[in-house]
Structure 1
Amino acid sequence: MFVRRDKLLKQVEETIALVPITVLIGARQVGKTTFLKNLTLQKPSLYLVGQDPDVAFLFTQVTTIESYLKINLHPELDGFLLLDEFQFIADISTTLKLLVDLHPKLKIICSGSSSLEIIQHVEESLAGRVHIIDVYSLSFSEYLRFQNEELFTLYNKYDSCTADEIVDSKIKYYFDEYLIYGGLPRIALTKGEQPKIQMLDDIYKTYLLRDVRSYVKNEDAVGFNKLLVMLASQIGNMINVHELANTTGLVYRKCEDYIFLLEQMFIIKLVQPFFTNKRKVILKMKKVYFTDIGLRNIIFANFVKLDRRTDSGAIFENIIFLELMRKIPSYAKIYFYRTKDGSEVDFIVDDLKNKYAFETKYKSFIKMINLKSLIGLQNIESLAKSFIISKNLNASEDKTRFVQGYLTEKIELLG
């Protein structure tokens, strides 16, 4: 079953109009292959998989792949080459550069699952010719579309000012489900709690462990598994590498390297601190989030409903972080703010023109409240707007707005 992902499609359409090479990168199972195979393009297209040895051989010589494309794509290479898992092809960046330089009508859309290899391939030789698009698991609206097209259509009629009592209860139900099982497309298409958990376990063991373990030394396997569980237990918190090393039995440098590996494999995201006064703000430690909450929950081995668990606030914060990551342009940054005296704001979004503060609260509110940490940040930093993301309240006063979690992607940031 194919379900359109309009936002990703728009990004790709805008990119191919500007540069000859588009690269989609993201974790396995986020839908890159399905997206490529179902692209509807205005010119002829050819789909190839770089992991296939026969395909990789075609790229060993530019003349070989040229001849192949003239026969199988277009005599003048006037079309789209769709190259999945392109990082498996040796010296691919040089070949792609020569292809697009020799054939201006050719457009290439690549995908890959590990930025460790991709960064090595998409290097200086492709400067000015390539744009990279990060592909994440489904946003909530996309997840909703996978469940029910009519609910998705209804959801699109809402905006960030829509009151909670107006929103269809089924949309809230699916948001609760999304908070537990995440947004991997195969999970969204799987019906039932137990089948979803089984599918997540299969994805975790078959794809994540297989890919990541190829970089982990055998003697570090136990410590690495402990590290995964420790990171899953600390979402929304600052991580202390020394403590993680002591707990997992890994030496500090290896622990640091494996955290870097997990980020490069798109399993976790680390968030840097924002500061206006270096003396007052904690500078070194970063906060950790998982790129899919279902994957985090299978590692953490907990699929209990949110109202019966102690990490519900952290899960909610992780989901809001991901919604913001999908929303902002690639040049914008997300930080967290925390001073040494304990004042904290979950997120600061900086789009290079304006700054926005976001605080998440997994609770219901009857009326607006003032948060000391937000007020403190507003007093020292020029913020375009502040948002408090909660379960139910939708209200506004001055530059602060309460918005329900399921409407996060509806928030309009200033241009």
Structure 2
Amino acid sequence: MFDRTIENTIKDKINGGKAILVVGARQVGKTTLINEILKDKDYLFLDADDPATRNLLQSPTTEQIRTFLGDYKYIFLDEAQRIPGIGLTLKLITDQFKNVQLFVSGSSSFDLGNELNEPLTGRKWEYELFPISWEEYENKIGLIKSEQQIENRLLYGLYPEVINNQGKERETLKNLVNSYLYRDILAFSDIRKPEVLEKLLQALALQMGSEVNYNEIAQLIGINKITVQKYIDILEKGYIVFRLNSFSRNIRNEIKQNRKIYFYDNGIRNMIIGNFSQLDLRVDKGALWENFLVSERRKQNLYKDTFSKMYFWRTKQQQEIDFVEENNGQITGFEFKWNKKKTRFPKNFMETYNAEGHVIDRNNFREFVKI
């Protein structure tokens, strides 16, 4: 059991009159987290994977809800996205049963969000949960052991089940990819061509950390640009990938429209391309390092409500900065290097934006991924 960063934040919201919603990819630990929060309480657990539960919660009346809630003050509905129209049922519970604290977990935000956002407007606290963060990992196993594991984490990622099955990482990741990545996403979206999704994921995995051109990907896969955009949007809402847009304010030749796409987890990415070669043998070592750092920074910014905005920066003359962060008007540029190297930041960027510049390498990365 890993102590999760958002656990105390959620505990502070208990009995505050709103539903508590935890969303994220499958197998990141949502059920474990909520069960841990409720471990000292008498609560009703409702598993939406169970057909009987789905029937029970699909358009019940107030009296039917009163009957199955009984005297429970805490209710935990797991995998809520599996129940059609669940948002209205949860609205009914929240409005009519003021002494009940509702906990809800969901795996697929592209479905759950549409179901819940309108019915539960103003009635929920929503939190995203990601694979284990480096901070959570280090807090659990200690500084020395975690440092020894850095290369394994770059290869196999930080899903709880992967970490807990040392020696069986590839098998575990294969099950994760096959069951969640393809089956769930195909089930909860209107993607009609699974083979196109697979080709798109492989193309994104091979371009990880590089600028992605939707027209080029469309030509490569043999579909149109609109379909590429739609599928990438679904992958974002399904917590598989996220994008960084280019930072552009004042400099005339800055790239304004491009984006980079990263994976939330290195292990998922490596499984998609079927490559678990050791770091020293890989041509994509720099991309793996960059993906790890950017995804960890994203976890921290979201968990800790830093309100930082994340970008990359490049000009048409190929001047570039790997990662740019804006916080309270302060612009900071970061360059990512596996080995320590002296790096010069573009003068026009630093002066125009009065920016700070930092190089993040193998020796100092902890301060970057533990805000």
Distance 1:372 1:113, change over 3 A: same
Q: Does 1:339 align with 2:315?
A: yes
Instruction: Please show how residues 240-251 of structure 1 align to structure 2 within 5 Å.
Output: 240-251=213-224
Contact kept? 2:79, 2:106, Cα under 8 Å: yes
User: Who is 1:106 aligned against?
Assistant: 100
Higher mean C-alpha displacement, 333-342 vs 183-192: 333-342
Give the letter aligned to residue 52 of structure 1.
Answer: D
Q: Distance in 1 between matches of 2:330 and 2:20?
A: 28
Q: Distance in 2 between matches of 1:390 and 1:407?
A: 11
Q: Does 1:90 align with 2:78?
A: no
Q: Does 1:356 align with 2:332?
A: yes
Aligned partner of residue 249 in structure 2, secondary structure: coil
Q: Deviations over 1:158-202 (max 9, x none)?
A: xxxxxxxxxx3x43221111111100000000112xx21111112
Runs of 4+ in 1 over 4 A off after TM superposition: none
Q: In structure 2, which of residues 251, 260, 279 is the aligned counterpart of residue 287 of structure 1? A: 260
TM-score of the two chains, using structure 1 as the length reference? 0.82
Instruction: Please show how residues 296-307 of structure 1 align to structure 2 within 5 Å.
Output: 296-307=269-280
- Percent identity between the aligned chains? 29
User: Who is 2:353 aligned against?
Assistant: 381
Instruction: Please show how residues 264-279 of structure 1 align to structure 2 within 5 Å.
Output: 264-277=237-250, 279=252
Q: Distance in 1 between matches of 2:17 and 2:327?
A: 23
Q: Distance in 2 between matches of 1:202 and 1:42?
A: 33
TM-score of the two chains, using structure 2 as the length reference? 0.91
User: Who is 1:191 aligned against?
Assistant: 166
Contact kept? 1:179, 1:293, Cα under 8 Å: yes
- Once the two structures are TM-superposed, the CA of residue 327 in structure 1 deviates from its matched residue by 0.9
Q: Deviations over 1:183-224 (max 9, x none)?
A: 0000000112xx211111121112211112334655x33332
Contact kept? 1:143, 1:178, Cα under 8 Å: no
Q: Deviations over 1:9-40 (max 9, x none)?
A: 12322343655112111111111122223324
Please give the root-mean-square deviation of Cα atoms over the aligned residues, in Å. 2.2
User: Who is 1:401 aligned against?
Assistant: none
User: Who is 2:365 aligned against?
Assistant: 405
Contact kept? 1:338, 1:345, Cα under 8 Å: yes
Q: Distance in 2 between matches of 1:344 and 1:314?
A: 15
Q: Does 1:262 align with 2:201?
A: no
Aligned partner of residue 212 in structure 1, secondary structure: helix
User: Who is 1:180 aligned against?
Assistant: 155
Distance 1:122 1:352, change over 3 A: farther
Distance 1:351 1:11, change over 3 A: farther
Distance 1:119 1:359, change over 3 A: same
Instruction: Please show how residues 13-412 of structure 1 align to structure 2 within 5 Å.
Output: 13-16=11-14, 18=16, 20-40=18-38, 43-59=41-57, 60-61=59-60, 62-71=62-71, 73=72, 79-144=73-138, 149=140, 151-152=141-142, 155=143, 168=144, 170-192=145-167, 195-214=168-187, 215=189, 220-277=193-250, 279-329=252-302, 330=305, 331-352=307-328, 354-365=330-341, 369-373=342-346, 375-383=347-355, 385-392=356-363, 404-411=364-371
Higher mean C-alpha displacement, 177-186 vs 27-36: 27-36
Q: Deviations over 1:253-299 (max 9, x none)?
A: 22221111111111111111111127322122210001111000010
Gaps of 5+ in 1: 74-78, 156-167, 393-403
Gaps of 5+ in 2: none
- Once the two structures are TM-superposed, the CA of residue 131 in structure 1 deviates from its matched residue by 2.0
Aligned partner of residue 312 in structure 2, secondary structure: strand
Distance 1:108 1:237, change over 3 A: same
Q: Distance in 1 between matches of 2:148 and 2:277?
A: 15
Distance 1:98 1:354, change over 3 A: farther
Q: Deviations over 1:125-151 (max 9, x none)?
A: 322221221111011233345xxx5x4
Q: Distance in 2 between matches of 1:277 and 1:15?
A: 42
